Amino acid sequence: MSARPPDTAAADGLSRPVTIVVLCWNRWALTRRCLDSLRENTDLERAEVLVVDNGSTDETPQGLAGYPWVRSIRNDANLGFVRGNNVGIAAAPPGADVVLLNNDVLVEQSDWLARLQECALSAPDVGVVGCRLTMPDGRLLHAGTYVLPDTLWGQQIGSGETEVGQYAADRTVEGVVFACAYLRRELLASIGGLSEDFESYFEDTDYCLRARGAGFRTVCCGGVTLVHDEHGSTSDDPSFFDGLFHRSRKVFEKKWKRSLEERYTRSLSWQSILNFPTGYAMSSRELLKGLDAEGVRTAYSYVYGPGSPFPPLEPQDSGDYLLNVIAGRRDHDGLGVVYAQGDVFERCRGRRRVGYTMLEVDGFPREWVRQANLMDEVWVPSRFNREGLLSCGVRRPVHVLPLGVDVDHFHPGIRSVANPRGDFVFLSNFEWGERKSPELLLTAFNRTFRAKDPVLLLCKVINRDPGIRVRDLVSRLRLSPSGGRIAFLHNRELPYHQLGVLYRSADCYVSAGRGEGWDMPLMEAMACGLPSIATDWGAHTEFVHDGISWPLRVKGTIPAVAKCPYYAGFSWAEPDPDHLSHLLRHVFENREEAAAKGRAAAAEMRERWTWRHAARRIVERVESVLAG
Amino acid sequence: MSASAEANGPGEPLRDLRRRLLLLARLLPVEHLRLLDADLDELEAETGASDFVLGLSDSVDLSASDVETALREVWARTQAE
């Protein structure tokens, strides 16, 4: 049974003809479901569907006879995934691009093909385009792949995460799974079809690496999401799968291990914290991922533990494959970076030693300064901290290397959960303590609004200190029942990849604390496109300005009185409560201006402040250190 | 919320009680009257604050939750107020 191959693309649609190759071997029910979804969601005036039947012995041949709009080719035997797909690629018209589509994929998005093609033709060096894949239960399955030379075990980016709209941008990735892969004709002309060194497995990563060798990028198209109901044709027979998988892995190792290793052009020993819920740990994780993407081979070791200011041993599992591999690498004695509080700098190992730290007040403790002076150089994320170190007597070079934000999980397209009352929601996300001045925010909000106003302050609050009773502290504020309404999300441990939903469910972010070493939640909120009000003092002034936020005036600085011993003798800001009240009211009454600031903030975060930007700045510095 | 509804807020029974007690307490010495007044102030503030501490607990343990679930709980709570 054969349908007419497309020789020209429709004038109003695809700019090139496309052949969609669906390989199948038995399991007609899956193939039928895939074809039905294609028929429902693809303009077949613009593309042809070509089913390659790998010698099915079930009702597939008879079933296909009922699909006259499908062109089909029947192989006499099961040629395997690679050769079967190559039959389809070879049968595509010479001017057509090719989409390889597994028969266990469901297409539920009507513009999927046009978007894939748009992405493929967006630049001459795009060769392969994959897409987001979700599991049937709605969780994310795939947003690209990577493989490390250490293990040669391909990993799917984002797999298992709750779907919140993450990875929505088109991103250059190392590879994509070929459950859905758009192959541009220029690439096919350059490197041909899939490598028949493989029967099944690793052929997709191999193809993407070959494409890169030929000067073509692989892109994961964030605007297309298909459902992959993984039913590999080898999944019924585990021993067959194992044999096939391991044979392919050996072939892959022989072909690619060395070149994967050669992608690392620099190395460093990263001594920090990863697997505790702290700001250093969270940013450490992202910096390591960014450095890996920038070609830096990092080896991680825990810098705290017994004998340090933070004695607990670190849990082994980071929950992230890449980080676990990095943590398992052997340390080396070249460049060592301690990314932690300054009182563990002297634990730094390496021929060249760097201390990377931050603090929320205007100076640094004497012990931190002493240890900083043992380093070859010191890094801080902000000029605010650089001034603090120098004013306290650090004599080593101090460089400003700002942190970043994850724009794959924090962006304006992340899903929101709207509040049914339609309240305008101010959000603040903080750990309860003197530094965050919660009493200032709560009382200012409460007196600025009336209970009947359609506005709410939502505070996501963490308190791990048994000496602090947040309920009592809030009660003592004597907030007026007829004033602005306030709600709390207290001591909730929310998955980091979902936090964007929290921000997107609010209308304005407020960070009215007395001092910040960076203020990651503020940056995340801004990346999500929220307008923000932020104290105009501290490290975050590195990325906050009045074009993208409302700086909150400070009345001056006051002694930093808090439980934290590192603050003793230093100062922090005293935010102006009247100005906070004014800004809260202004944002509430000027929604369009607020939305515009939010959009500008998101754009600036994306363009200047991602973790890749942060990693690149570190790489530049690493090169200088090693050269010096 | 209408003005009358606002007038019948959670602090209203307490304010009624205060009016009646102060009426009865006219015979008390002035210093006792002041003490009673201060106690009632304290009680009123705490009663009013009870609206604000919904969702707060004295526990320092974290409880794991989906963001969406957590938000729906908050919205339901604020809708019920």
Check CB contact under 8 Å for A474 and B49.
yes
pLDDT at B14 exceeding the cut of 90: no
- Put simply, the chain A residues between 147 and 166 with a CB less than 8 A from any chain B CB are 162, 164
SS3 A448: helix
Nearest-angstrom CA–CA distance, A131 and A115: 10
Q: What's the pLDDT tens digit per position in A317-375? A: 999 999 999 999 987 779 999 999 999 999 999 999 999 999 999 999 999 999 999 99
Task: Please report the pLDDT score of residue B4 as a whole number.
Answer: 41
pLDDT at A96 exceeding the cut of 60: yes
How far CA B4 is from CA of B7, B8, B13, B15, in Å, comes to 5, 6, 14, 15
Average pLDDT over residues B68-79: 93
Cβ neighbourhood burial of A490 (10 Å; 0-12, 13-18, 19+): buried
- A237 Cβ contact partners less than 8 Å away, ≥ 6 residues apart: none
Q: In this structure, what token pair is assigned to residue A112? A: 């999927």
Say whether pTM exceeds 0.95. no
SS3 A350: coil
Confidence of residue A3 (pLDDT cuts 50, 70, 90): very low
Check CB contact under 8 Å for A419 and B75.
yes
Nearest-angstrom CA–CA distance, A509 and A503: 8
Contacts of A481 in chain B (CB under 8 A): 9-11, 48, 51
Q: If you measure CA to CA, which chain A residue comes closest to B45? A: A478
Check CB contact under 8 Å for A493 and B65.
yes
Helices and strands, counts by H and E, chain A? 18, 27
* ipTM score assigned to the predicted complex: 0.89
Please check whether residue A361 is in contact with residue A560, taking contact to mean a CB–CB distance below 8 angstroms.
Answer: yes
Determine the residue among A410, A416, A417, A423 to mutate to test chain B binding: the one whose Cβ has the most chain B Cβ atoms within 10 Å: A417
Task: Please report the pLDDT score of residue B27 as a whole number.
Answer: 73
Which of these ranges, A43-47, A256-260, A436-440, B8-12, has the smallest mean pLDDT?
Answer: B8-12
Average pLDDT over residues A423-441: 96
Task: Please report the pLDDT score of residue B12 as a whole number.
Answer: 65
Please check whether residue A413 is in contact with residue A549, taking contact to mean a CB–CB distance below 8 angstroms.
Answer: no
Average pLDDT over residues A430-437: 95
Q: In this structure, what token pair is assigned to residue A280? A: 């250093």
- Reduce the secondary structure of A389-407 to three states and give it as a string: HHHCCCCCCEEECCCCECC
Which of these ranges, A136-145, A198-207, B48-57, has the smallest mean pLDDT?
Answer: B48-57
Report the DSSP beta bridge partners of residue A301. Answer: A271
How far CA A592 is from CA of A523, A547, A597, A606, B51, in Å, comes to 21, 14, 9, 21, 31
How far CA A74 is from CA of A84, A450, A456, in Å, comes to 10, 73, 63
Q: What's the pLDDT tens digit per position in A279-296? A: 999 999 999 999 999 999
CA of A473 to nearest chain B CA: how many angstroms apart? 10
Check CB contact under 8 Å for B10 and A481.
yes
Average pLDDT over residues A56-65: 96
Determine the residue among B71, B72, B73, B81 to mutate to test chain A binding: the one whose Cβ has the most chain A Cβ atoms within 10 Å: B71
Average pLDDT over residues A177-182: 98
In percent, the amount of chain A with pLDDT more than 90 equals 90
Q: Is B74 on the interface with A (CB under 8 A)?
A: yes
pLDDT at A98 exceeding the cut of 90: yes
Task: Please report the pLDDT score of residue B29 as a whole number.
Answer: 76
pLDDT at A186 exceeding the cut of 90: yes
More confident residue, A367 or B29: A367
Determine the residue among B53, B67, B72, B81 to mutate to test chain A binding: the one whose Cβ has the most chain A Cβ atoms within 10 Å: B67
Average pLDDT over residues A9-31: 85
Nearest-angstrom CA–CA distance, A204 and A210: 10
Check CB contact under 8 Å for B61 and A463.
no
Contacts of A465 in chain B (CB under 8 A): 60
Please check whether residue A382 is in contact with residue A358, taking contact to mean a CB–CB distance below 8 angstroms.
Answer: yes
- Put simply, the chain A residues between 262 and 291 with a CB less than 8 A from any chain B CB are 277
Average pLDDT over residues A125-135: 98
Nearest-angstrom CA–CA distance, A310 and A355: 17
Mean pLDDT over all residues of chain A? Answer: 94
Average pLDDT over residues A202-211: 97
- Put simply, the chain B residues between 11 and 50 with a CB less than 8 A from any chain A CB are 11, 45-46, 48-50
Q: What is the dihedral of CA A262, A266, A269, A272, to 10 degrees?
A: -100
Check CB contact under 8 Å for B53 and A471.
yes
Contacts of B61 in chain A (CB under 8 A): 491
Of A492, A382, A484, nearest in space to A443 by CA: A484
Task: Please report the pLDDT score of residue A2 as a whole number.
Answer: 40
